[in-house]
Amino acid sequence: MNIETLIILGIAFLSTLLVYIAQSNVRNLKRLKVLHGGQQNELVSILIPARNEYHNLRRCLDSLVNQDYSNIEILVLNDKSTDQTPKLVKDYHKKDNRIQLFQGKDLPDKWIGKHWACHQLSTLAKGKIILFMDADTALSSSIVSKAVLAMSTKKSDLLSLVPGRKATCLIEKLTFPFIDWMTLCWLPVKLASSSKSPYLSVNFGQFMMFRKEAYISIGGHSYLRENLLDDFELGREIKRNGLKWNLYDGSKDITTHMYSRSKEAFMGISRSIFPVFDYRISAFVLAVGILSSLAILPQLYIINYILDGASAQLLIFLSYFSMIMLSLSWLVTCMKFNHNLLTALIYPLLIFITILIGIHSVFKSMIGTTSWKERKVSRFKIKL
């Protein structure tokens, strides 16, 4: 068996594994449900950092004041906004005094702005349960009560939900299915829930519900003040400390409108990719190699066979098999997260676009020009 056949055999195996993980996660990545007979009335502090979020925050606050879980406080920190964000929050406070506005303090050295805002909010929270969410996110009316009951039942220290992302520009339409494919097909949720490995976890900043005691015990946002991916790293630290993490499907209960233009989406997604790999060049290169192989090698072998008929029959069979299984994994993802089903046919394009954004992420990190909300982010140490 030659090297080409071994490579395509590996791709066929990985493609089959992705389909297996996807179908397993369809069963195990469940939506939160109402637990009849269960009742919790713990104070929940909902914490929202807001910097120039006037156009997003109204939808967010409307969803919060309509929650069927009434024992909440909604704390919004105005992080040096230059728009009408503070005025909007004050107007809502007049209608519902559970909504409180706080003015953010000056950003200290070696802190990312959002993390500093979240840290300040955590010190102001009175609840034993704290929920971090983004200003561009809206919740279904019962999701807080369902999450609180699930935390109690599962004895969770951190509960996160996979959000439903609303794509409004081309880059979002091309990358959001990839993000959901990585979540559904590469993370075996059942295994991750029982495993102690910190890298078998994923969290989403649109909804991170902590027991405040657990959040404080791992150092909170002050622990990762310079790490761009607070959601990923907080989950990893929860597991490093032997605490309980759970992930649920919130795609129909949480909607987020992240960006309005493709350029903004490109830069925002780029900012997050390299930190996923802990700023390790080797890990990023390995991921690019694997994804590129999945996206192009089966097609290349088939094209070569069509043009000159030189490829072995086993190689061609495995190539077709790999393409079918990969398309199936994308099809399951599209059905689960309500993406266009035609996405399953153009997955190589989506993979390569995300790789290009990832290369941009590495480059920006290396030269130290990454920024967030008009603030430059300190250069992080690049590792081999």
| pLDDT score recorded for residue 379 | 59
41 and 354 in contact (C-beta within 8 Å)? no
**H helix or E strand, kind and range, residue 27:** helix 3-28
Interval 270-291 mean pLDDT: 91
Copy the structure tokens of residue 92.
């809502």
Q: How far is CA 370 from CA 260, 270, 363, 365, 375, in A?
A: 20, 9, 9, 6, 9
97 and 29 in contact (C-beta within 8 Å)? no
By CB neighbour count within 10 A (0-12 exposed, 13-18 middle, 19+ buried), where does 342 fall?
exposed
Q: How far is CA 169 from CA 165, 265, 330, in A?
A: 12, 8, 21
Mind listing the domains of the chain with CATH numbers? 3-25+278-376 (no CATH), 32-179+186-261 (3.90.550.10)
Residue range 58-83, pLDDT digits in tens = 999 999 999 999 899 999 999 999 99
151 and 85 in contact (C-beta within 8 Å)? no
Interval 2-28 mean pLDDT: 93
Interval 45-59 mean pLDDT: 95
| pLDDT score recorded for residue 286 | 96
Residue with structure tokens 């676009």? 353
| pLDDT score recorded for residue 272 | 87
Please state which of the ranges 81-85, 161-165, 312-316, 346-350 shows the lowest mean pLDDT: 312-316
Residue with structure tokens 């790789």? 355
Query: SS3 for 230?
Result: helix
Q: Does residue 38 have a pLDDT over 60? A: no
Residue range 81-136, pLDDT digits in tens = 999 999 999 999 999 999 999 999 999 988 888 999 999 999 999 999 999 999 99
Q: What is the Cα–Cα distance from 323 to 325, expressed in whole angstroms?
A: 6
Residue range 203-243, pLDDT digits in tens = 999 999 999 999 999 999 988 887 778 888 999 999 999 99
72-78 and 99-103: which strand pairing? Answer: parallel
Q: What is the Cα–Cα distance from 227 to 247, expressed in whole angstroms?
A: 22
Query: SS3 for 169?
Result: coil
| DSSP state at residue 80 | S
CB atoms within 10 A of CB 212: 16
Backbone angles phi, psi at 139, to 5 degrees: -115, 150
The three state secondary structure string of 29-77 is CCCCCCCCCCCCCCCEEEEEEECCCHHHHHHHHHHHHCCCCCCEEEEEE
Residue 144 pLDDT class (50, 70, 90 cuts): very high
| pLDDT score recorded for residue 310 | 60
Residue 39 pLDDT class (50, 70, 90 cuts): low
Q: What is the Cα–Cα distance from 141 to 130, expressed in whole angstroms?
A: 18
CB atoms within 10 A of CB 360: 17
Copy the structure tokens of residue 41.
């009335």
CB atoms within 10 A of CB 150: 21
CB atoms within 10 A of CB 59: 14
